[in-house]
Structure 1
Amino acid sequence: MSKITSLSTTQQEKLNTHCQKLHDFILHSGKDLTREEVESYIEWIYSKIGKPKPIILIFDSYLAQKVAINILNNNKFRESQVESQVWSQVRSQVRSQVESQVWSQVESQVRSQVRSQGLEFIEQSFGYGYESWWLTFTEYWKNEGIVKSDDFNSYLGLNRCGIWSIVYFEKSVFICKLPIKILKDERGRLHSVKSPSVQWRDGLDNYFIHGVGFEKDLWQKIVDRKLEPRELMKMPNTDQRFVALNHYGFERALTELAPKLIDQSKRGNKLYSIKFDAYTMKFLKYTDTVNGENRISFVKPEFDDADEAMAWKHNMTKNEYQNKLRVEA
């Protein structure tokens, strides 16, 4: 068989269609799974590494899986993980689009939730969340008749049951089902101001606004606009503060905070200061040169010159900024 060095236009179109179908399956199908579906596949994996069939534990959410793993790992008869054996005997890891767009965000939030309870976060990078790229690509070539492997078919079959994450131990395996629904914004970031962005069967959902994670109570207060602008400004997490203010409405929030105009340049840049409690924050108000819309951008509190602050925003000195404007004029 000759070596394939590039995809034809038809092959590329078919691959794109295949990738989209699997992407939709992982993120939007909400497929449930049963013990009967995965049992033979798990037994096959453990036979590959010379281990007896383990106890199979299935969970309805990523957080529930991690908490359950801690119960096992805090036991005095702590099991050894068999990750390296499964890794070397069954597959090698390749990162995926799903991981970059969804998995990393969900993992980050659940990691924080687990650690806030004094628990250990354990992940082995198995399951469709981590493995979708190579599984999708290889499945395409399987369908084209190029890849012919019973082992791959079995490993693919396991994931096709609907596995988001799976963690292997010597005598037990912990499986997390796919979410039932995932919501994203137009840029592919986890997002919803009406319901959880990542919805699990047991209700241990994940909440995001434009890719920024929130605990449920804080998310609810923000989407319902129950926090005053001063409370939003005090939020310690800068990403959360930004998206919260954006949802509330920057113009409205800043107006209610009664900002003080510090400097206005001939170019129309306006530098404002907001002071509350022991905090002082400064922001620029300017006109977008591309579409003419008003923009707001927070800057360092030490600035007292609007053009200097604008130059800093563009990683320039004030002289460089002024010279650039002269050239453009």
Structure 2
Amino acid sequence: MITEFTPEQEALIPVYKEKWDAILLSTERIDRQKAQDAIKSAYGSIGKNEVDILFYDSPYAAAIDINKQGEIKLGKPIRGKLDSQLAIKLWRQVESQLEMRLKEQLWDRQRSMLASRLEISLRRQMSRQLQDNLWVNFPKAFIRKIGTSWAKEIEFYITVLGCQHNFQKEWELFQLLVKNAFWILAYENVCFVCDRPTKINFDARQRLHAEGEPALEFADGYSLYAYHGVNLPRKYGYLHPKKWRSQWLLQETNAELRRVLIQAIGYERICQELQTTELDLFREYTLLKIDDADVEPIHLLKMTCPSTGQIHALRVPPNLTSAREAIRWVNWGIDPEKFAIET
């Protein structure tokens, strides 16, 4: 049982994380011959020696074709069998040789949400675009690129920590599959292989994000727009946020998208571009109300700088009806008269 990392071992943790994250985020076209060989070997490992392998430029194109194939021709989804044969047994054997505390430390330091965020974003978009009867079957076959998470952990256990295992052939095959295929939709009789995206963009917090262009794009033109991890319809995504219009808030019914629009446009622009009701005045402050732009009325405390004319606006609770009360709320309970004396 391994109970602690040496300094040298600890220093290698980010190296393996970066290696497998780079494979996950590669935008190079897959080598179809290598992918085909790896998939045939993977199927052979569970006793399936005959499989049709079909390649597509995007998961969406694959999903459309699945609908045409029919359940009988496809056979049952076999993702679980492949996972169990090639990775799960190996992972369990090597991780059993580490103390729980070290496994948790390694997970915390190697953890990456990139794979799951990519998958979740695609699932959300495709669930809106595809018919219900197609979407029922599509996720069951989806082998996520979460394999990269297993791969970096297993390789670290074996190569750096010296953990022993009895699955060398399976380990080599699993690496080939992760490196040479992107997303795979695996059924008993047919395996659908999706090529890598041609573009992937993230923000600093590793959330899908791009401004005025797709955050995720495939060679056939299928793309996904996102703003700090929130999927956007094309009507918003293809425009830079600086060109977004406050008036969209009045028609948008999705609460998450309204939140994104408000965040990107900013309350300063919103209070200038939408019709507002003036509730109260106090010195250079105005308490405004905007109806129909969010789940509840938007109350804004607007301050116009006397020297520059620049407008600043902060959202305050809708139960506040006086400007002085709103100023007190913004200043953590300090009355504006007292605040002015103290400053």
Identity of aligned residues (%): 22
In the alignment, is the contact (CA less than 8 A) between 1:96 and 1:132 conserved in 2?
no
**What residue is the counterpart of 2:86 in the other structure?**
90
Query: Is structure 2 residue 169 aligned with structure 1 residue 154?
Result: no
Rounded to whole Å, the distance in 2 between the matches of 1:312 and 1:107 is 41
Rounded to whole Å, the distance in 2 between the matches of 1:166 and 1:280 is 44
Match among 67, 76, 96 for residue 80 of structure 1: 76
Match among 6, 9, 12 for residue 10 of structure 2: 12
In the alignment, is the contact (CA less than 8 A) between 1:56 and 1:174 conserved in 2?
yes
In the alignment, is the contact (CA less than 8 A) between 1:65 and 1:174 conserved in 2?
yes
Query: Is structure 2 residue 112 aligned with structure 1 residue 114?
Result: no
What runs of 5+ residues in structure 2 fail to find an aligned partner? 92-106, 304-310
Distance change >3 Å, CA 285–CA 303, structure 1 → 2: closer
Q: Deviations over 1:100-134 (max 9, x none)?
A: 4433223222222224x763252245242x22221
> What secondary structure is seen at the aligned counterpart in 1 of 2:135?
coil
Distance change >3 Å, CA 254–CA 173, structure 1 → 2: same
Distance change >3 Å, CA 309–CA 47, structure 1 → 2: farther
Give 1:189 deviation, angstroms: 1.8
**What residue is the counterpart of 2:103 in the other structure?**
none
> What secondary structure is seen at the aligned counterpart in 2 of 1:119?
helix
Give 1:96 deviation, angstroms: 5.0
Relative to the length of structure 2, the TM-score reads: 0.74
Give 1:304 deviation, angstroms: 3.4
Give 1:198 deviation, angstroms: 0.6
**What residue is the counterpart of 2:58 in the other structure?**
61
**What residue is the counterpart of 1:317 in the other structure?**
none
Distance change >3 Å, CA 294–CA 69, structure 1 → 2: same
Match among 314, 322, 326 for residue 296 of structure 1: 314
Give 1:154 deviation, angstroms: 0.7
Distance change >3 Å, CA 150–CA 254, structure 1 → 2: same
**Superposition pairs for residues 1-329 of structure 1, below 5 Å?**
3-27=1-25, 29-73=26-70, 77=73, 79-92=75-88, 97-115=113-131, 119-121=134-136, 122-123=138-139, 124-128=141-145, 130-144=146-160, 145-146=162-163, 149-163=168-182, 165-221=183-239, 223=241, 225=243, 228-263=245-280, 271-275=287-291, 281-285=297-301, 294=312, 296-297=314-315, 299-300=317-318, 304=321, 322=333
Rounded to whole Å, the distance in 1 between the matches of 2:192 and 2:216 is 20
In the alignment, is the contact (CA less than 8 A) between 2:279 and 2:287 conserved in 1?
yes
Distance change >3 Å, CA 68–CA 285, structure 1 → 2: farther
> What secondary structure is seen at the aligned counterpart in 1 of 2:143?
coil
Please tell me the root mean square deviation across aligned C-alpha atoms, in Å. Answer: 3.8
Tell me which of the two structures has the higher relative contact order, counting C-alpha pairs closer than 8 angstroms and 6 or more residues apart.
2
Give 1:193 deviation, angstroms: 1.2
Give 1:51 deviation, angstroms: 1.7
> What secondary structure is seen at the aligned counterpart in 2 of 1:166?
strand
Aligned residue pairs: how many?
306
In the alignment, is the contact (CA less than 8 A) between 1:54 and 1:171 conserved in 2?
yes
Rounded to whole Å, the distance in 1 between the matches of 2:18 and 2:220 is 27
Q: Deviations over 1:67-119 (max 9, x none)?
A: 2222224x66452222332233233399852234433223222222224x763
> What secondary structure is seen at the aligned counterpart in 2 of 1:52?
coil
* Residue type at the aligned position of 1:284: L
In the alignment, is the contact (CA less than 8 A) between 1:126 and 1:167 conserved in 2?
yes
Higher relative helix content? 2
In the alignment, is the contact (CA less than 8 A) between 1:273 and 1:280 conserved in 2?
no
